[in-house]
Amino acid sequence: MNTAFLIFIVVVYLLVTGYLGYYGFRTTKSSEDYLVAGRKIHPAVMALSYGAAFISTSAIVGFGGIASIFGFPLLWLTFMNIFVGIVIAYAVIGKRVRRKGLELNALTFPELLGRMYGSRFIQVFAGIVVFLFMPLYAGVVLIGAARFIEVSLNVDYNVALLIMSLVIAVYVVYGGIIAVLYTDAFQGLIMLASMILLLVSAYAWFGGVVPAHETLTGLNDIAIKTFAGKIDGYVGWTVFPKFGSEAWITLVTSLILAVGIGVLAQPQLAVRFMTVASDRDLDRAVPVGSIFIFFTVGTAFIVGALSNAYFIETAGMPSIAVAGGNVDKVIPAFINAFMPDWFVAVFLVTLLAAAMSTLSSQFHTIGSALGRDVFQAGFLGGRHAERTVFITRFAIAAGILFSIFLAYVLPPGVIARGTAMFFALCASSFMPAYIGGLYWNRATKTGAEASIISGFVVSMIYIAFFHIKESSALGIAKMLFGREALAGFPWTVLDPMVIALPLSALIFVVVSFLTGADRGGS
């Protein structure tokens, strides 16, 4: 690789990012500016920022690597990302969120939930959940970027992790949401251009779209042999797994539904709707957001699947073997083997952009959760708003340190699973109360509180005692009951959201009906 060229583009990238961070710092005059950008962000900037915050190294490296196993069926998640995460989120839910946030003067997602029901408990509890569990998501995003640097540049993983975290910390801590939005938009443009070039290059190598797909279909027998005895019900890279099998349940519940539905209740994404001036701005943002998701997520999944055909032809083995069994190294290995050196350098910046755009949003959300939602709303009883920015900046630093720690200790191949787990936890805990508060005038404070607590508790119980990937790693079930999981198939592979979200929604409706006199704050 041309080291001088790499240094040049990284320096240019960091200079532009630094300037946008400084611009955010210079234009931030109040808590409203710091937390929701004064509610006057351009729709294109919001859409690119939303997409860049949504699509991170988790999607490109983590889920791209998972696509090297499940193949094209994972493209259903791209459809969910566009239809649910963009069209429904912007054109339907986003408008209600924007109006409700303005009406209640809410500046964070937990604050919006709490003020919809007149419940300080909801705001504080939601803030605690976000502060404690979003670092898991941030940690896997850090891992995704660090893995690419490790494979591409032979740089020590720990050093890359530390430097990247420090750069992000500077512009998020001091610039607030304005810096986050503008840097996200800039980074989103880099991601979009690079992913389009990667997609075109991959298809061109195979001679076009149809030849590429036909080639991969012809290799399904190798896929079956590769994963025989490892994934029940698996039938290839271009075929959906057998209905009801382990592979089918994992693909549908943990990868497609948990992330595809869970996006609606993501705190760092929902707050974006409160940064624009009108409903029309949200409508104008739909095409930008949809195109961005199609080319970034779709490319990662397509290239992840096609990498098998490329490596079988050039190395005589599928992608997972080339990556040494670690799915998180598939995309870095493919980029380094397939693309020219100059693109590897550009793609390194692309992944830095993907990581930094998502992490900046996550760290800003982590900080505001502790600063405004827990400290100000809880400990200060909603008073002393002037202290929010200082406490938020301190909380961001704490969140960064916790995320770095998790990036050190989490096991290999965890990126996609960690992402899906956080998305599912947010959906199970917040979505019924969130959607109900926006659309159902019979929703009550007690119903919302019961729903949020039950969704969170059931998710935690299922993770600790039933879902085998987490329960075996945590070891709580083994320690207390002598078993890694308290139930057999299909409960060991069924995503916790499939159980917790319907139960949380049912409790929300039933308790709201039973406590009809308790209408809450809105």
Span 209-237, average pLDDT: 92
Going by C-alpha positions, the residue among 302, 291, 71 that lies closest to residue 209 is 302
- pLDDT for residue 387 is more than 70: no
Rounded mean pLDDT, 207-216: 96
pLDDT tens digits for range 417-436:
888 888 899 999 999 999 99
Do 258 and 427 contact (CB within 8 A), yes or no? yes
Per-residue confidence band for 28, with pLDDT thresholds at 50, 70 and 90: low
Find out if CATH 1.20.1730.10 is the number for domain 3-428.
yes
pLDDT for res 37:
45
pLDDT of residue 94: 85
Does the structure show a pLDDT above 90 at 464? Answer: yes
Q: Rounded distance, CA 93 to CA 317, Å?
A: 46
More confidently predicted of 178 and 203 = 203
| Better-predicted residue by pLDDT, 287 or 126 | 126
Helical packing angle, 157-206 and 279-315, nearest 10°:
80
Q: What is the pLDDT of residue 369?
A: 85
DSSP string, 172-198: HHHHHHHHHHHHHHHHHHHHHHHHHHH
**Burial of residue 200 (number of CB atoms within 10 Å: 0-12, 13-18, 19+):** exposed
pLDDT score for 21: 65
Q: What is the pLDDT of residue 277?
A: 66
Taking only the tens place, the pLDDT of each residue in 149-191 is 777 677 787 787 777 777 666 655 555 555 666 776 777 788 8
Q: Is the pLDDT of residue 280 over 60?
A: yes
Residue 48: which of 197, 181, 168 has the closest Cα?
181
Of the chain, the percentage scoring pLDDT greater than 70 comes to: 83
pLDDT at 332: 87
Query: Would you place residue 474 in the very low, low, confident or very high pLDDT band (cuts 50, 70, 90)?
Result: confident
**What does pLDDT average to over the chain?**
83
Q: Which residue has the higher pLDDT, 410 or 319?
A: 319
pLDDT at 38 over 50: no
Percent of the chain topping pLDDT 90: 40
Domain definitions of the chain by residue range: 3-428
Query: Which of 24-33, 282-291, 320-329, 339-348 has the highest average model confidence (pLDDT)?
Result: 320-329
**Chain centre distance of CA 221:** 33
Contact criterion met (CB below 8 Å) for 253 and 421: no
Which one is predicted more confidently, 406 or 316? Answer: 316
The predicted model gives 125-148 an average pLDDT of 85
Q: How many CB atoms lie within 10 A of CB 29?
A: 9
Residue-level pLDDT at 300: 93
Please give the C-alpha separations between residue 287 and each of 42, 143, 284, 496, in angstroms, as whole numbers.
14, 31, 7, 33
Instruction: Please name which of 312, 306, 292 lies closest in space to residue 335, comparing C-alpha atoms.
Output: 306
Q: What is the pLDDT of residue 121?
A: 93
Q: CA 489 to CA 245: how far, in whole Å? A: 9
